[in-house]
């Protein structure tokens, strides 16, 4: 998973897509002109690098997810502890609210059959090992959990990974629902999620 060096213009396009998502604009509503104006480059220049809007947006989302997941894998390697890594991921969701929006759009498009969803799914298949994905973060966490005896190595990998992924998505839903925070603090939710996963996977 070697990090790819981008041309300044492509990076500007990717950052423009990220900024538009931060402004709560649905990716399906974004136009090429919105992206190029924000990037400060001509519309024709975008077509020198990409065939269409779907390719720009899907490539940008994949780029940003790759960055987020690389940071998480690096932190997991540094912590070398399953529960601490899970706590770090939950805290990152709290702290990086803007990046969370990219992640949510990404997850939504993975099951979307529209043009952008299909373009993203095709990009993922093309890139395969080149891009760091959420599954790579989960794999590192599982390896640590099994090595430290926090996870039962007899459990099927698919079950373990789905348990972790569903718990993280549950936390994202919790964060998005302001009313839920009144009945359960973030700290309490962190503890409940971590203890719940550890209890289920031991």
CATH number of domain containing 101: 1.10.357.10
Looking at the domain assignment, is residue 125 inside a domain? yes
Looking at the domain assignment, is residue 2 inside a domain? no
Phi–psi pair at 137, nearest 5 degrees? -65, -45
Phi–psi pair at 133, nearest 5 degrees? -120, 165
CA angle 116/52/98 to nearest 5° reads 50
User: What's residue 98's pLDDT?
Assistant: 55
Q: What is the pTM of this model?
A: 0.76
Structural domains in the chain (count):
1
Looking at the domain assignment, is residue 3 inside a domain? no
User: What's residue 2's pLDDT?
Assistant: 45
Cα separation of 9 and 181, whole Å? 41
User: What's residue 179's pLDDT?
Assistant: 66
Q: Report pLDDT digits (tens) over 114-163.
A: 888 788 888 877 766 678 888 888 998 999 899 888 899 999 999 999 99
Looking at the domain assignment, is residue 1 inside a domain? no
Q: How far is CA 202 from CA 100, 102, 145, 153, 198, in A?
A: 29, 32, 10, 9, 6
Looking at the domain assignment, is residue 47 inside a domain? yes
**DSSP letters spanning 155-184:** S-HHHHHHHHHHHHHHHHHHHH-TTHHHHS
Residue 103 lies in domain: 8-201
Phi–psi pair at 163, nearest 5 degrees? -65, -45
Looking at the domain assignment, is residue 121 inside a domain? yes
Q: Which of 18, 98, 2 lies closest to 62 in space, CA to CA?
A: 18
Residues in the chain predicted with pLDDT less than 50, given as ranges, are 1-3
List, in order, residues 6 or more apart from 45 with CB less than 8 Å away: 9, 36
Looking at the domain assignment, is residue 178 inside a domain? yes
Q: How far is CA 145 from CA 63, 126, 137, 171, in A?
A: 28, 30, 12, 20
User: What's residue 186's pLDDT?
Assistant: 84
């Amino acid at each position: 998973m070697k990090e790819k060096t981008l041309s300044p213009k492509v990076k500007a396009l990717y950052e423009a897509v990220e900024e538009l998502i931060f402004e709560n604009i649905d990716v399906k509503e974004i136009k090429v002109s919105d992206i190029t104006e924000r990037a400060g480059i001509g519309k024709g220049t975008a077509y020198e690098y990409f065939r269409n809007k779907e390719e720009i947006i899907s490539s940008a989302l994949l780029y940003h997810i790759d960055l987020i997941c690389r940071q998480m894998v690096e932190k997991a390697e540094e912590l070398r502890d399953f529960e601490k890594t899970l706590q770090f991921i939950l805290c990152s969701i709290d702290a990086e609210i803007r990046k969370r929006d990219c992640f949510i759009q990404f997850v939504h498009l993975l099951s979307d059959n529209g043009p952008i969803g299909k373009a993203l799914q095709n990009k993922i298949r093309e890139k395969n090992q080149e891009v760091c994905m959420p599954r790579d973060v989960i794999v590192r966490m599982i390896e640590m959990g099994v090595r430290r005896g926090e996870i039962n190595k007899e459990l099927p990998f698919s079950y373990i990974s789905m348990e972790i992924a569903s718990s993280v998505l549950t936390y994202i839903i919790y964060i998005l629902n302001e009313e839920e925070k009144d009945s359960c603090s973030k700290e309490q939710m962190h503890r409940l999620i971590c203890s719940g996963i550890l209890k289920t996977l031991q």
